[in-house]
Amino acid sequence: MSNFQAVYFRDASGGEPVVDFLDALDPKTRAALRNHIGRLNLLRDEQPHLPFPHSSQIDGELRELRCHRGREHYRVLYARSESLIVVLHAFPKRTAQIPRAEIETARQRWTDFKERMNARPRRQPRAAGRDAP
């Protein structure tokens, strides 16, 4: 079976909020997070999730990718749609628990993604943007 493909969520206006978040980081932190996200491309049906502590389930279909660079911690929230892994949201982790607002942001993007992907005909722009690294 082939590997899954990680892609960035694209909003209804064509923006890619996770790409924007990554682009705002310093180059070394951006490269570290892209490397973590790139590991999602190694997943396949036989291994649908990275093991803990790299990843864990957050709520329903939402999962977190646990990323760090030095003492800085980040979370990348994503969900799987068939063979796609949709990278929905990324943020710096500053509290023990993931703030509810961060989960809600990812959940809203996931709902938007599914609605646009399931629409017939599909609504533009394409709900998944550039491939993740």
Residue 133's pLDDT is 56
pLDDT in tens, 52-79: 878 889 988 999 999 988 899 999 999 9
Residue 102 has pLDDT above 60, yes or no: yes
CA–CA gap between residue 77 and residue 57 (Å, rounded): 9
Q: Among the ranges 68-72, 81-85, 92-96, 102-106, which has the highest mean pLDDT value?
A: 102-106
Split into its structural domains, the chain has a count of: 1
Tokens 């068939």, residue located: 82
Question: What pLDDT is attached to residue 132?
Answer: 61
- What is the rounded (10 degree) CA torsion for 105, 94, 78, 65? 180
**Residue 46, pLDDT score:** 78
Residues 10/16, Cβ–Cβ less than 8 Å: yes
- Over residues 17-44, the pLDDT tens digits come to 999 999 999 999 999 999 999 999 888 8
Q: Which pLDDT score, from 0 to 100, does residue 96 have? A: 86
Mapping DSSP onto H, E and C, the string for the chain reads CCCCEEEEECCCCCCCHHHHHHHCCCHHHHHHHHHHHHHHHHCECCECCCCCCCEEEEECCEEEEEEEECCEEEEEEEEEECCEEEEEEEEECCCCCCCHHHHHHHHHHHHHHHHHHHCCCCCCCCCEEEECC
Range of the structural domain that residue 120 is part of: 5-131
Tokens representing residue 24 in the block: 């705002």
Distance of CA 94 to the CA centre of its chain: 18
Amino acid at 6: A
